[in-house]
């Protein structure tokens, strides 16, 4: 995780200097990971997930990670329940 005042400004939606070395390196890593993911064909679902996570890593302490830790079955149950309600 980047700990830089400019990164923090960007996360808050404020104006920031985009061309500092840390942000340039982060963009380059993301571009490489995205290219690997987009170029992947005939891969197992597991490998696709690995590439996705390399592209978009989730901080375990973030609010986004909590639902993911509950597991896919709980998510599938919610989808089924929502579909049944319609």
Quickly state the pLDDT bin for 1 (edges 50, 70, 90): low
pTM for the structure as a whole = 0.53
Identify the weakest region by mean pLDDT among 4-13, 18-27, 37-46: 37-46
**pLDDT at residue 81, as a whole number:** 60
Work out the average pLDDT over 40-47: 84
State the Cα–Cα distance between residues 36 and 52, nearest whole angstrom: 9
What dihedral do alpha carbons 71, 1, 24, 11 form, nearest 10°? 80
């Amino acid at each position: 995780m980047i700990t830089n005042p400019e990164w923090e400004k960007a996360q808050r939606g404020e104006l920031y200097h985009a061309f500092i070395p840390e942000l340039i390196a982060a963009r380059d890593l993301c571009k490489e990971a995205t290219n690997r993911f987009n170029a992947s064909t005939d891969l197992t679902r597991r490998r696709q997930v690995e590439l996705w996570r390399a592209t978009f890593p989730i901080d375990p302490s973030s609010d986004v990670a909590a639902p993911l830790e509950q597991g896919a079955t709980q998510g599938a149950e919610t989808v089924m329940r929502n579909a049944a309600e319609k």
